[in-house]
Amino acid sequence: MPTPVLYCRDALDPRRVDAHFAPEAREVRACGGTVGLIDHDALLRGDARQAVAHVPAGLGSVWYRGWMIPGDRYAALAEALSGRGAELIVTPEHYRTAHELPGWYATFADITPASAWRPTEPDEMPASVELAALAEPLLPGAGIVKDYVKSRKHEWEQACFVPDLADAAQLTRVVRRFVELQEEFLTGGIVLRAFEAFSRPESVAAEVRVWWLDGEPRLLTPHPDSPFERAPVPDLDRIEPAVRRLGCRFITTDVALRSDGVWRVVEVGDGQVSDLHQSSSQGELAALLVGP
């Protein structure tokens, strides 16, 4: 039986798939898969029952593909779907494990930049001494700031990169700006990571997104932000065992070549909410999800 896939509906035309995912959903149908629609706005508002009101009854095991969902909302989605005879293949526990850095970090500790985190509420600013203590195990060197899910990499100088983690005033300034800009979207807490120098090749993507299904690397794509359509083939020998240990069925790893020639995991993500590079084959991804 082809596995159905749930997409977000278009806010302006609720019978259609959100325009960003519509080509992929077409490929799912072309592979014989059923497409169901959820209302992402209603889900984030706290109305999970409304969010699934138009999902056909009795779909059985389903994938979700669409915009990111906070961990607690994903659990609410799973519960609302079970009331309609549908079960998310990725459990809420596994979703959180892959989606939030503290969930996957320990499993990847040897192959990803050293990291430390502290739970915070949106708009909560930790004291300077606390940030200095958090940074201590990452010294010496530069660092980057993010939350459990996202960085502000487009505001690199003011809200992401810390040239010297030992400089408490500088660290505090960057974290404060990050907290301000994230507003209510700050997820989980503050993460500090040791900066590593990655190579910046001239005509291929610097970061490769590896799509893993059941512990197998099934698709390699450029990172969605890359201007290049070609991605180098990474060495996955040390990464594959970690992916298997994590035990989540469908994840992505963004990998980059460190300047000393070692492939490193920049970030892990849940495959359901990982964006696909515009040059990549939506058909291949759809075929993976729908199954044989």
Ligand X SMILES: Nc1ncnc2c1ncn2[C@@H]1O[C@H](COP(=O)(O)OP(=O)(O)OP(=O)(O)O)[C@@H](O)[C@H]1O
Q: Is 24 in the site for ligand X (CB under 6 A)?
A: no
Bridge partners of 144, per DSSP, are 161, 193
Spell out, one character per residue from 127 to 146, where the chain touches ligand X: x when CB under 6 A holds, - when not: -----------------x-x
Pairing verdict, β 86-88 and 60-64: parallel
| Cis omega (within 30 of 0) for bond into 241 | no
Nearer to ligand X, 9 or 99 (CB): 99
Please, which of residues 88-117 interact with ligand X by CB under 6 A? 113
Interface stretch with Mg ion, choices 140-148, 160-168, 181-189, 265-273 (CB under 5 A): 265-273
Residue 156 CB, nearest distance to ligand X (Å)?
A: 8
CA 291 to chain centre: 22
Considering only the stretches 14-22, 185-193, 249-257, 274-282, report the one whose residues sit in contact with Mg ion under the rule CB under 5 A.
249-257
The reply on whether position 27 binds ligand X by CB under 6 A is: no
Q: Which is nearer to Mg ion, 18 or 267 (CB)?
A: 267
Pick between residue 3 and residue 221 the one whose CB is nearest to Mg ion.
221
Binding window for Mg ion (CB under 5 A); candidates: 49-57, 90-98, 114-122, 251-259: 251-259
CB contact at 8 A, 95 and 108: no
> Binding string, 226-265, against ligand X, x = CB under 6 A?
----------------------------x-----------
Which of Mg ion, ligand X, none does residue 118 bind to, with CB < 5 to 8 Å depending on kind?
Answer: none
21 in Cβ contact with 65 (< 8 Å): yes
Q: How many residues bind ligand X (CB under 6 A)?
A: 16
Q: Provide the minimum distance between the beta carbon of 86 and ligand X in the complex, in angstroms, as a whole number.
A: 28
Residue 196 found at the interface with Mg ion (CB under 5 A): no
Among ligand X, Mg ion, none, partner that 207 touches (CB below 5 to 8 angstroms by kind) = ligand X
Least distance between ligand X and beta carbon 214 (Å): 23
Residues 150-209 that bind ligand X (CB under 6 A): 150-151, 153, 193-196, 198, 207
Task: Give the per-residue SS3 of the chain.
Answer: CCCCEEEEECCCCCCCECCCCHHHHHHHHHCCCCEEEECHHHHHHCCHHHHCCCCCCCCEEEEECCCCCCHHHHHHHHHHHHCCCEEECCCHHHHHHHHCHHHHHHHHHHHCCCEEEEECCCCCCCCHHHHHHHHHHHCCCCEEEECCCCECHHHHHHHCEECCCCCHHHHHHHHHHHHHHHHHHCCCEEEEEECCCECCCCCCCCEEEEEEECCEEEEEEECCCCCCCCCCCCCCCCHHHHHHHHCCCEEEEEEEEECCCCEEEEEEEEHHHCCCCCCCCHHHHHHHHHCC
The binder of Mg ion chosen from 24, 100, 267, 270 (CB under 5 A):
267
Q: Contact residues for Mg ion (CB under 5 A)?
A: 254, 267
Q: Contact residues for ligand X (CB under 6 A)?
A: 113, 144, 146, 150-151, 153, 193-196, 198, 207, 225, 254, 266-267
